[in-house]
Amino acid sequence: MEITESRHRDILVIAPVGRLDSTNAPIFDQRLSTTLERGDTAIVIDLSALDYISSIGLSVLLSVAKKVRRLEGRVALAGMNDRIRSVVEISGFTRIFEIHPTVETAVAAT
């Protein structure tokens, strides 16, 4: 799967493209683990290029939230379309994540 990264000051913006399903979610999980291991603990996950997410993709997001909390870092979700946002809300993740309409607002909120 395609995953893009960019850096805004000390914040890493990481964007999965397409689908976070049982095929792709493990690849994104591995990338996030690598990101944390190299010391990037201020992360904005840009979901603006994401078309689809299933519970396996949601588990990857929850897993990174747990790890970032242990590392006393920060993770925010940004740029969700309405369908992705509805699934994130049904899953109760609005209580767990900072959620921003765009990457720009997520980066500016630090």
Partner 1 sequence: MQITRLDVVLAADLADLGALMATLDHFAGVSGLSPDVAFKVQLCLDELVNNVIDHGYAPGAPGEIRLRIEHHGDRLAIEISDDAALFDPFSNPPPDLDLGVDDRPLGGLGVHLVRTLMTEARYAVDAGRNHVRLVLSLEPAS
CB of 49 to partner 1, least distance (A): 16
62 binds partner 1 (CB under 8 A): yes
Q: Are 97 and 61 in contact (CB under 8 A)?
A: yes
The helix or strand, by DSSP H or E, that contains position 78, with its residue range, turns out to be strand 74-78
Asked whether position 80 contacts partner 1 by CB under 8 A, the answer is: no
Both tokens assigned to 16: 């999965």
Q: How many Cβ atoms from other residues are within 10 Å of residue 44's Cβ? A: 28
Structure tokens at 14: 């990481």
Count, residues near partner 1 per rule CB under 8 A: 21
Binding span for partner 1 by CB under 8 A among 4-12, 33-41, 61-69, 100-108: 61-69
Task: Provide the binding-site residues for partner 1, judged by CB under 8 A.
Answer: 21-23, 52, 54-56, 58-59, 62-63, 65-66, 69, 83, 87, 90-92, 95-96
